[in-house]
Structure 1
Amino acid sequence: MSGSNLELWKATYDAETQDQLNDAYKLWCTDYDRDCVQGMGYVGPMTACRMLDTYLESPESRVLDAGCGTGLVGQVLSKHGYGRVDAMDISKDMLQVAKEKDVYNKFFQADMSEPLEVLNDDTYDASICVGTFTYKHVGPEAFNELIRVTKPGGYVCFTIRDGAYQEYGYRKRMHELEADNQWELLEMAKQDYLIKEGVTAKFCVYRVGNC
C-alpha cells in the first residue's frame, strides 16, 4: 500500500465525524479493494459469507449487505450463487464502486448509526455486515436495526474487529439482545481478518427471534 493510501486507511479509524469518515472513503474508494485484499490480506468477506451460507437454505434467499463498502461481500455471495442481494452504505462513492461489480439488486445510502428508515421491517432472510463494527465506524446500536429488517427466524451475520470488540460495548449489547429474546447466538469464532496485518475479528451468526 502506498504511503498516501496508508494514511487514508488510518484516517478511517481516526475520524471523529461521519463527514470525516466519508471524506476518507471518497478518496480511498478506487484503491480500496487492492489495498485491503492484496495489500493487507483482507479475508473477512470470504469467511463471513462461508459462515452465512451454511445456515441459509437457498441461494434464493434475500440478503442485505449492510455497510457494503465497495461490494466485496456481494462478490463473494454472487460466487456462492446468491442473486437477491441489496447493498447499503453511508458512502455514495463506495456505493458507486459497488454498483460497478453488478452483483446487487438495490442500493441504499444510509447511516447505520441512525434508524434505517429506507428499509421496512422483516424484509430480508439474512443481513450480513462485514468490516463495519470497528473503530470509529458503527456502534452496537445498529444491531437493533439489523434485527428489525431481518425476518423472524432469519440470520444476522457480522464481524467485529478485535480490540473494538473489547472497547466499544458490542458484547454487552449482544448479551442484552439475547436476554430479551431478540436473537439467539448460533456461532461465534475468532478468525483471521487482515492476515498480513496480524489482525483478527469475531465472526458471529445469530438467528432472529419472534418477538
Structure 2
Amino acid sequence: MSHEEAQLERIVNLGGDRHKILEFYEDWASTYARDVVEGIGYTGHVLTAKAVTARVGPEAEILDVGCGTGLVAVELKQRRPALRIDGIDLTRGMLDEAEETQAYRSLVLGDMNHPLDADDDTYDGIVSSGVFTTGHVGPERIDELVRVARPGAPIVLAIRDTAWEGEGFSAHVDLLERQGRLRVEESRREPYLLKTGVFCQLCVLAAA
C-alpha cells in the first residue's frame, strides 16, 4: 500500500472524531494536492468542475464546500476565469494552501456539520468532492446545500461509491426529490482514484 493509500485508509478509520480529523488534515495540507493527484490519480476536482461549468453562467457565484487546498477552484477558473468562488473548509492549513491559488473570492473556516453562514438562495452553483463520505459529513447535510442554492442552481457532489449506498446518501437524495426540494439531473458512477481502482458517484442535483 502506498503512502497516499494509507493516508486515505487512515482518515476513513478515524471514526468521525472531529479533533482527529482536523489534526490529520492540518498535518497533510502542505503535500495534499500533490499526493492525491499524482500519487493516487484523484479525479474528483476535474469531474465536479466540468459538471458545474456546463451548467452555470460565466460570472456565476459558486460555493466550494470542503475546498481543501483549492483543486476544484483551480479547475473551475481554468474553464471559467470570471467565476466568483467562495470556499469553506474545516482546517486552517488547507485554507492557507487554497489562498495561494488566488482562485477564491473568499475563504472561510467552517464545519459542514453545522449550519453554513450564508443566506438562503445565495449561490448559482455548489460543488463538493470527497467531503460527503464516511466519517466526514453525512447525507442530511445536503439539506444545507439546498438551502443556500438559488432555485435551479446545480449542486454537484462526488461521493465515494461505497458511501453512496452504504452511508445513505442515495436514499436521502431520493427523499429530498420526493419532497420536491430538489431534482436529480444526473447520477452516474465514475473513476475516482485512477491508480487504486476506486469509483465515485457523480451526482448532479438542481435546487428546487
Question: Which residue pairs with 1:87 in the alignment?
Answer: 87
Partner AA of 2:152 in structure 1: G
Question: Which residue pairs with 1:113 in the alignment?
Answer: 113
CA distance in 1, matches of 2:10, 2:26: 12
* 8 Å Cα contact 1:113/1:141 also seen in 2: no
Question: Which residue pairs with 1:72 in the alignment?
Answer: 71
CA distance in 1, matches of 2:195, 2:6: 17
Question: Which residue pairs with 1:30 in the alignment?
Answer: 30
* 8 Å Cα contact 1:43/1:195 also seen in 2: yes
TM-score by length of 2: 0.94
3-state DSSP of counterpart to 1:63: strand
Q: Deviations over 1:82-114 (max 9, x none)?
A: 430000111111111111111000111111112
Matched, 1:144 2:128: no
Q: Deviations over 1:6-45 (max 9, x none)?
A: 5433322112311110111011111111110000000111
Two-structure CA RMSD over aligned residues (Å): 1.4
Structure 1 residue 81, shift from structure 2 partner: 1.6
Question: Which residue pairs with 2:173 in the alignment?
Answer: 174
TM-score by length of 1: 0.93
Matched, 1:129 2:112: no
CA distance in 1, matches of 2:8, 2:30: 13
Unaligned runs of 5+ in 2: none
Question: Which residue pairs with 2:200 in the alignment?
Answer: 201
CA distance in 2, matches of 1:81, 1:54: 10
Question: Which residue pairs with 1:48 in the alignment?
Answer: 48
3-state DSSP of counterpart to 2:30: coil
Structure 1 residue 48, shift from structure 2 partner: 1.4
Distance change in 2, residues 1:192/1:145 (3 Å): same
3-state DSSP of counterpart to 2:80: coil
Partner AA of 2:67 in structure 1: C
Matches within 5 A, 1:155-194: 155-194=154-193
Structure 1 residue 198, shift from structure 2 partner: 0.3
* 8 Å Cα contact 1:11/1:24 also seen in 2: no
Report % sequence identity: 34
Matched, 1:39 2:44: no
Question: Which residue pairs with 2:18 in the alignment?
Answer: 18
